[in-house]
Chains A and B, each alone.
Chain A
Amino acid sequence: MAEKELTQRTAWDKVLANLRKRSLWMLHYCTGCGAVELPPTMTSRFDMERFGIMPMVTPRQADILLITGYLSVKTLKRVILIYEQMVAPKYVVGFGSCTINGGMYWNSYTTIKALDRYLPVEMYLAGCMPRPEAIISGFNSLIDKIGKGEANSWKDYYENYEFYKKNQDHVFGDIETHHDVPADGRYFGILEAKR
């Protein structure tokens, strides 16, 4: 799918993607301990802003949803609400081992193990916890992906919503996010592009 779309890119899309990749605003969801690595990443020592990456406050303004650490079932609900409130194109970045396979909470009964079953994860930053160098390197590869037009995981949420919804329903009951994701996908022309 991704390759087909890549070949369809017009010159305008390429220009736009190369401009967009210079500005990425990040909403960090800091329930885990990994958040402690973010301040050095943002401030004088590593200065994330030189890549145009800035922390933002509300989901509406953000492009990147950075999940810094483990998610319990209860916090996952909030994360899903926040993700659905974000404005596409949006990228979920799993930060630390906890988001990948539960990390040190691998046998906990309320901590979800693989984030990509509930949300379309664009990229994982492995490590417990990843150091600022790793974060910067990870974001740089995300920037490259966006520039090449390969960062399209957010479309997957619209296309395979049944999959995500099934997994979400498996860990908690129905939640009211006031979003009809497939309808949104049709309204904004994200689903038609495929069919």
Chain B
Amino acid sequence: MYTQALLALPLVGFVVTIVLQGTARRSPAILKTWALLAFVAMAAVATLAFPEIGDTYTGPMVFGSSLSIGLTDLSWWFVMMIAGITVLTSFFTLGALRDTGTYPMYYGWLFLKVFGMLGLVMSRDLLTFFIMWEIMSWATYFVMQQGKEEGREAALGYLVYAIVAGMVLLGGVLFIHQSAGSFEFAVITAYMAKAEFGILLASVLLVLVPFLIEAAVYPAHGWLPSAYASSETSMTAYLSSISTRMGLFGLILFVFSVFGLKAIDRIGISAHLNLRTILLVLAALTAVLPTYTALFQHDAKRLLTWHSIGQGGYMLLGLATASTLGTAGGLMHIFNYMTYVALIIFSIAAVEYRTGTTNLNKLGGLIVKQPVAFLGMLFGIIGLAGIPPMNGFVSKWFIYRSLILGGYPFIALAAFIATVGTIMSVYKLIHNTFLGQLPERYNDVKEVGLLMQLPIWILMGVVFTTGVFPGLILQWIAKIQVGMGIVPIAWTLGGVAREAGDLNMMVVTAVFMATFAVGAIIFFIGGKRRIVSQYDNYAAGHFLNKDVPYNFNYNFYSAFDHIFEKLYHDAPVQTAIRNLGRFVRMVADYVRRFFTGQINTYAAYYVAAVIIALAILKEIP
């Protein structure tokens, strides 16, 4: 009962928003309030739907099979994440979104996207999955359009990827239907268990490739940074935190449930050399390369969107080990990353709200002006860097341990290299935003209002609490692992039980608090201290004042730049890249004639493609 209501609510919200969009310019509060109320109601319904886990509801018949939805442990978990982050985002936009008039359909497309995502995670057959996937992709495109001018172009880039992914997925759906004779997951599972190798390989690849594109796994990650970074900032938080993970959801669903791990492991030549190995290598590349690209970004949002890719690599690393600890780490990392990346981007949004920029070379010293935003970002980056006691550490611990003991030393090394890169770039982020010298022009910057602070405080609480008591999350993950056909993790409130490893975050945190208190005691034993002006600073006897910029934030990691500049500026490589670029531009010039930039044209193409595909489907007996 609640399950259907859950799916219906965002759809109602979408329709109501279309009706109300005329009010956006005059009284934006109406739409904002409506969106918040609807999303809160959605979260409440999602909670109420808990007892309905395991039930399946069938909908209208399409092509001889009925669309069906239902909740599993995995999908309820995802539903809760979607609902939670949506409520927080819409709450944050109450304060943050100043010019609703510019984006009248902001909430409309958000509703549609939520509908698509909820439908996706609740779908119980292949056809529903595909339909919802398409709704979600298109809604994502429209959501991205609600941004700056350059955001529209970037969204177009996403659209190209999404259409490719959608086409491949359509092919996969049709192929599986043709082979297995049904859209139902159970039938497919049974079929795949003893399918021919070729059919298995083709269907796995056709289904996994779109997921990897949507999850922005290297090398299909190119669409993400500019598309996310040029969206409206609260939307960047939303997209980074949950939207990208839908691809990962599909991957979990198909690899572990629909195809089954046994079927997947048939693709390969040995226990250490199979499809999962390829996934591991891809994941390691995804973790390392984008993270080091993030290092050289000058825009806070863009820096974080590169991390969205990189951290996705960690999740895939954990999942691809298919071990108890690894999948637990991967699943938990999805939740953890969602919480702290939303926290960081909300903090950046708070800074942008007051200063009007996210350029890391222009900000600085804002800690005295926006302490709450600073604290939010601090909690967030500690989580992102994976340092105790925040939650990011726990999931990374699982992933490391599974990689080391699973016999993947170099993959584990890659994960650690990515961690070092993460630490470097998040320090640059917080240093250039909040630390260092406060430029004179930001002297009258104030903290943001309570409306925007509240989501930051809530997320800080979540990041810390789930870091200290990972058992709160792990109990769910254990249930999900049962559904995935993996030995569930032996969780305790503070981590994992002795047999599985040595981790008790409660003890770690308690000891840290105690030692921190010792530090505080030593601090207060020392003499009085006085807070001085930022211009009272060592400059080898030079008199500092507001006219003397005395700060270090440009080209922050110069040694890395120095080492890797050869890689980027070396002549043959450079020429090759330039030639490639020229070729791509030439091809794109032809392709551009197809892509007119008119949404109607794309819709027409798309409808045509779907009709052709369905016509083929009709022909097949």
Task: Using CB atoms and an 8 Å cutoff, list the residues of chain A in contact with chain B.
Answer: 58-60, 77-79, 81-82, 85, 175-179, 184, 187-189
Q: A177-B536, A178-B535 are in contact. Are A81 and B541 (CB under 8 A)?
A: yes
Closest CB of chain B to A69's CB: distance in Å? 15
A157 to B425, CA, bound (A): 45
Interface residues in B519-533 (C-beta closer than 8 Å to A): 527-528, 530, 532-533
Smallest CB gap from A77: residue in B: B543
Q: A187-B528, A188-B530 are in contact. Are A85 and B545 (CB under 8 A)?
A: no
Contact A184 B538 (CB under 8 A): no
Residue in B528, B538, B541 whose CB lies within 8 Å of A188: B528
A22 to B535, CA, bound (A): 33
Which of chain B's residues have a CB closer than 8 A to the CB of A187? 528, 530
Contact A85 B535 (CB under 8 A): no
Residue in A59, A175, A188 whose CB lies within 8 Å of B543: A175
Name 19 A/B residue pairs within 8 A (Cβ), A-sorted: A59-B538, A60-B538, A77-B543, A79-B541, A81-B541, A81-B543, A175-B543, A176-B545, A177-B536, A178-B533, A178-B535, A178-B536, A179-B536, A187-B528, A187-B530, A188-B527, A188-B528, A188-B530, A189-B528
Which of chain A's residues have a CB closer than 8 A to the CB of B543? 77, 81, 175-177
Closest CB of chain B to A66's CB: distance in Å? 14
1/0 contact string of B535-570 vs chain A (CB within 8 Å): 110100111110000000000000000000000000
Contact B536 A184 (CB under 8 A): no
Closest CB of chain B to A60's CB: distance in Å? 6
Which of chain A's residues have a CB closer than 8 A to the CB of B530? 184, 187-188
Which of chain A's residues have a CB closer than 8 A to the CB of B536? 85, 177-179
A188 to B531, CA, bound (A): 12
Q: Contacts A78-B541, A85-B536 known; list 8 others, CB within 8 Å.
A: A58-B538, A60-B538, A79-B541, A85-B538, A176-B545, A187-B530, A188-B528, A189-B528
A146 to B544, CA, bound (A): 33
Closest CB of chain A to B52's CB: distance in Å? 64
Which of chain B's residues have a CB closer than 8 A to the CB of A82? 541
A79 to B543, CA, bound (A): 11
Smallest CB gap from A59: residue in B: B538
Which of chain A's residues have a CB closer than 8 A to the CB of B542? 78
Interface residues in B491-534 (C-beta closer than 8 Å to A): 527-528, 530, 532-533
Which of chain A's residues have a CB closer than 8 A to the CB of B545? 176
Closest CB of chain B to A193's CB: distance in Å? 13
A189 to B529, CA, bound (A): 12
A188 to B526, CA, bound (A): 12
A78 to B541, CA, bound (A): 5
Binding site secondary structure of chain B? loop
A77 to B542, CA, bound (A): 9
Which of chain A's residues have a CB closer than 8 A to the CB of B535? 176, 178
Closest CB of chain B to A130's CB: distance in Å? 24
A83 to B530, CA, bound (A): 17
Which of chain B's residues have a CB closer than 8 A to the CB of A177? 536, 543
Smallest CB gap from A187: residue in B: B530
Interface size class of B (residues with CB under 8 A): 10 to 19
Smallest CB gap from A29: residue in B: B541
Residue in B527, B532, B541 whose CB lies within 8 Å of A178: B532
A44 to B319, CA, bound (A): 61
Smallest CB gap from A75: residue in B: B541
Which of chain B's residues have a CB closer than 8 A to the CB of A179? 532, 536
Closest CB of chain A to B437's CB: distance in Å? 13
Smallest CB gap from B538: residue in A: A58
Smallest CB gap from A78: residue in B: B541
A77 to B535, CA, bound (A): 16
A188 to B527, CA, bound (A): 9
Closest CB of chain B to A117's CB: distance in Å? 20
A176 to B535, CA, bound (A): 10
A77 to B541, CA, bound (A): 8
Which of chain B's residues have a CB closer than 8 A to the CB of A189? 528
Smallest CB gap from A184: residue in B: B530
Which of chain B's residues have a CB closer than 8 A to the CB of A178? 532-533, 535-536, 544
A12 to B545, CA, bound (A): 41
Which of chain B's residues have a CB closer than 8 A to the CB of A77? 543
A85 to B538, CA, bound (A): 8
A85 to B545, CA, bound (A): 15
A179 to B531, CA, bound (A): 11
Interface residues in B320-338 (C-beta closer than 8 Å to A): none
Which of chain A's residues have a CB closer than 8 A to the CB of B528? 187-189
- Among B532, B535, B536, chain A packs the most CB atoms within 10 A around the CB of B536
Which of chain B's residues have a CB closer than 8 A to the CB of A60? 538
A14 to B527, CA, bound (A): 17
Smallest CB gap from B534: residue in A: A178
- Among B541, B542, B543, B544, chain A packs the most CB atoms within 10 A around the CB of B541
A79 to B530, CA, bound (A): 22
Closest CB of chain A to B539's CB: distance in Å? 9
A184 to B542, CA, bound (A): 21
Closest CB of chain A to B46's CB: distance in Å? 55
Closest CB of chain A to B443's CB: distance in Å? 16
Which of chain B's residues have a CB closer than 8 A to the CB of A78? 541-542
Which of chain A's residues have a CB closer than 8 A to the CB of B532? 178-179
Which of chain B's residues have a CB closer than 8 A to the CB of A59? 538
Which of chain B's residues have a CB closer than 8 A to the CB of A184? 530
Closest CB of chain A to B280's CB: distance in Å? 48
A139 to B59, CA, bound (A): 92
Closest CB of chain A to B528's CB: distance in Å? 6
A81 to B542, CA, bound (A): 8
Smallest CB gap from A189: residue in B: B528
Closest CB of chain A to B548's CB: distance in Å? 11
A112 to B407, CA, bound (A): 73
A188 to B528, CA, bound (A): 7
Which of chain A's residues have a CB closer than 8 A to the CB of B533? 178
A150 to B483, CA, bound (A): 78
A60 to B532, CA, bound (A): 13
A15 to B440, CA, bound (A): 47
A187 to B532, CA, bound (A): 12
Closest CB of chain A to B313's CB: distance in Å? 42
Closest CB of chain A to B541's CB: distance in Å? 3
A83 to B527, CA, bound (A): 19
Smallest CB gap from B528: residue in A: A188
Which of chain A's residues have a CB closer than 8 A to the CB of B544? 178
Smallest CB gap from B542: residue in A: A78
Rank and list the top 5 A-B pairs by shortest CB-CB distance, nearest first. Answer: A78-B541, A178-B536, A178-B533, A58-B538, A178-B535
Smallest CB gap from B532: residue in A: A178
Closest CB of chain B to A169's CB: distance in Å? 16
Which of chain B's residues have a CB closer than 8 A to the CB of A188? 527-528, 530
A132 to B572, CA, bound (A): 60
Closest CB of chain B to A80's CB: distance in Å? 10
A166 to B338, CA, bound (A): 62
A179 to B536, CA, bound (A): 8
A53 to B163, CA, bound (A): 72
A189 to B530, CA, bound (A): 12
A16 to B544, CA, bound (A): 35
- Among B530, B532, B538, B542, chain A packs the most CB atoms within 10 A around the CB of B538
- Among A78, A79, A189, chain B packs the most CB atoms within 10 A around the CB of A78
A157 to B560, CA, bound (A): 47
A19 to B542, CA, bound (A): 34
